[in-house]
Homo-oligomer: A and B are copies of this chain.
């Protein structure tokens, strides 16, 4: 299967720590291969996500790269399809089949871009697709999750992660956690 990378624009340590953490966790849980954080370097953010991968499995890569424009151009040169999630774009139901076709049939890797506050206009230009997860204001965390869920048609929710030390056994009430390693 082709790869999906997520590029998170404009992270600010003071303001975005929790939302960016959610973005990273969603990228992993919903089947991306990795996430690239642009904006301020935030070691605590990167480390906390790496710890989740150690505990709950992967593979999932976590990277900081200051120059987001270079990331987009490099991925474009590598033939990635650039998908920018924005409330102003074409609504997901209008465009998902075309993206699925390029991903599954043409085997295109994807770079999925999500912004923090204000996204520079050039991102809209560099993107192959500007996609709205509904044309309403909500959340880049939700947008990323729903986009990946539609792309994978729900299969990502049943994915097994490799080298997990912990695994949840689904249950009706309470919590069942399987320890797969003593090294926790």
Q: Which residues of A contact B (CB under 8 A)?
A: 15-16, 18-19, 22-23, 25-26, 28-30, 52, 56, 87-94, 121, 124-125, 127, 130, 132-139, 141-142, 144-146, 149-150, 154, 156-159, 161, 167-177
Contact = CB atoms under 8 A, between A and B. Distances in A.
Given A145-B145, A146-B145, A146-B149, A89 B138 contact: no
Nearest to A166: B137
Contacts of A176: 88
A93 B172 contact: no
Given A22-B19, A56-B136, A93 B141 contact: no
Contact of A170 (B16, B19, B132, B177): B132
Nearest to A145: B142
A145 B135 contact: no
A154 B93 contact: yes
A168 B146 CA distance: 19
B172 A130 contact: yes
A168 B15 contact: no
A23, A52, A89, A121 pick with most chain B CB within 10 angstroms = A89
Nearest to A89: B170
Contacts of A159: 134
